């Protein structure tokens, strides 16, 4: 795991942890990290809130500020399922890859969630084998 990503994750979750158990529970109802520092949730919506919305925004419309975070809402590039799968696993430029933090089923769940919400209606679901195929 590159140090850069490790410290990014720490920066994101440390304040949450320091805010105390109540706040942490409110943010991540089913817990975010396991003892082995992987995301625990198997649910696409929860994974989106835990990981993606910090950059792509809760409405998935993206943002331009310190960086440029493309909208996932109404994004034609999500039509080819392999594209978001590849990016979530391996990252691309300003986006870190999450392949070390999520197993194949979790990547599939969060990609399926994004591809069927926020104005996207791509119902050909990704399966864990599709994710395995793009792992380095």
Residue 57 near ligand HEC by CB under 6 A: no
Residues with Cβ within 8 Å of residue 4, at least 6 apart in sequence: 96
Give CA–CA dist 88/86, Å, rounded.
6
| Binding of ligand HEC by 114 (CB under 6 A) | yes
Residues 6+ apart with CB under 8 A from 103: 38, 128
Number of residues in contact with ligand HEC under rule CB under 6 A: 22
Q: Which stretch binds ligand HEC (CB under 6 A): 13-21, 34-42, 53-61, 116-124?
A: 53-61
| Chain positions contacting ligand HEC, by CB under 6 A | 51-52, 54-56, 67, 69-70, 72, 75, 77, 84, 87-88, 92-96, 98, 110, 114
């Amino acid at each position: 795991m590159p140090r850069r990503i490790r410290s990014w994750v720490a920066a994101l979750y440390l304040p949450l942890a320091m805010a105390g158990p109540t706040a942490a529970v409110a943010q991540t109802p089913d817990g975010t990290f396991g003892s082995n520092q992987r995301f625990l949730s198997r649910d696409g919506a929860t994974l989106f809130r835990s990981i993606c919305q910090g950059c792509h925004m809760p409405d998935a419309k993206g943002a331009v500020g310190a960086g440029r975070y493309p909208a996932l809402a109404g994004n034609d590039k999500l039509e080819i399922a392999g594209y978001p799968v590849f990016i979530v696993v391996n990252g691309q430029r300003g986006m870190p890859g999450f392949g070390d933090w999520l197993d194949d089923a979790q990547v599939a769940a969060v990609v399926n969630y994004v591809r069927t919400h926020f104005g996207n209606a791509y119902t050909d679901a990704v399966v864990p084998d599709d994710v395995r195929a793009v792992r380095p």
